[in-house]
Amino acid sequence: MAKGICVFAEHFQGNIEAVVAELVSVAHLIRETTKEQISAMVVSDDCEKLIEELKKLGLDEIYAVKTKRDPLFQDDAVSQVIADMLRRIDPSVVLVPATMTGRSIFSRVAVKLGCGLTADCTEVLVGTEEDGSFYIKQNKPSFGENVFVTIVTRPGVYPQMMTVRPGVYQPYEATGEKEPRISYLEVEVPESGIRVVTKRPAVSCTDSILGAETVVIAGRGAETAESFELLRRFAGHLDAAVGGTRPIADEGWIPFENQVGQTGCTIRPRICIALGVSGAIQHTEGIKDTKLMIAINQDEEAPIFQIADYGIVGDLNQILAEYLKEK
């Protein structure tokens, strides 16, 4: 019978992605109820280095398949390898980063295994059946920002597989010197129909909003050329990343990667400054763990003031212009 919690160890340029430690935290929350072991799976041409990184995460076991070449972007071949690995590992739960790589590979894996895949979970809980067996409540926003749904896998269908949005959970910090078992699996690596011709760094003006200590967020109140120019100059003075609500992303003022909220990313900056943000729950779910929240809005009844540590009622254009004039 399927048993165990398995985390997909996504990696890039020889390093384990930070979101993997967050998924290990999710796995430990599940284990508090199910008492199952936690493992990670990795596919790479440099498994040894990645395994050394994974050893720091307090896992029970690490499963690895070593490839002859870097499998980056060869999702057709990698998905077949992972499907074969999961048939061997037979876990009850598979946790996957809700990244472009995770979505691309595991949609294919789900088809190969004949199981479901819930995308972009923001909360993972454990439920108990009448017979004492466990199942995973996979919670996520759906139908745009309008509803929050709970999805469960059909009884008897394993693994229960889901992608979890980066930034929602705190990274797991292992204690002690626990040494995981290392298992290299003999799995055939098929020839990919994809050939990577060249790789170049992305050229983008997008700040890294997930790792920024200070984030300035634009709402509908900043939805003019004048307001947004002031906002960008303000953020530049603070060395802050710029994010926004969904309407701001929809209108093209920010890239969708910098949208914050239930249908965007979840951030945990040290300081978050909300400019012209009303404070709808769909947005504030993405900033609820901010250490210091400052809000500026003309509407003194705006819900954003209920979660802000400091609030200013006023015209953000005047306030930002005055600030920048002093600089």
Please list the ranges in the chain whose pLDDT falls under 50. 205-206
Q: Please choose, from the candidates 43, 38, 39, 40, the residue with its C-alpha nearest in 3D space to the C-alpha of residue 81.
A: 43
Domain boundaries, the chain: 5-184, 214-326
Is 188 within 8 Å of 84 (Cβ atoms)? yes
Structure tokens at 175: 């204690």
Query: 303 preceded by cis ω (within 30°)?
Result: no
Query: For position 195, what pLDDT does the model report?
Result: 87
Q: Please choose, from the candidates 78, 90, 112, the residue with its C-alpha nearest in 3D space to the C-alpha of residue 9.
A: 78
Fold matches, 5-184 and 214-326: yes
Strands 271-275 and 292-297: parallel
Separation of alpha carbons 278 and 281, rounded Å: 10
* CATH 3.40.30.10 is held by the domain 5-184: no
Percent of the chain topping pLDDT 70: 96
Q: Residues 29, 30, 31, CA angle at the centre, nearest 5°? A: 90
- pLDDT tens-digit series, residues 16-71: 999 999 999 999 999 999 999 999 999 999 999 999 999 999 999 999 999 998 89
Q: Residues 154, 155, 156, CA angle at the centre, nearest 5°? A: 110
Q: What is the pTM of this model?
A: 0.78
For all residues of the chain together, what is the average pLDDT?
Answer: 91
Q: Which fold has domain 214-326?
A: Rossmann fold (3.40.50)
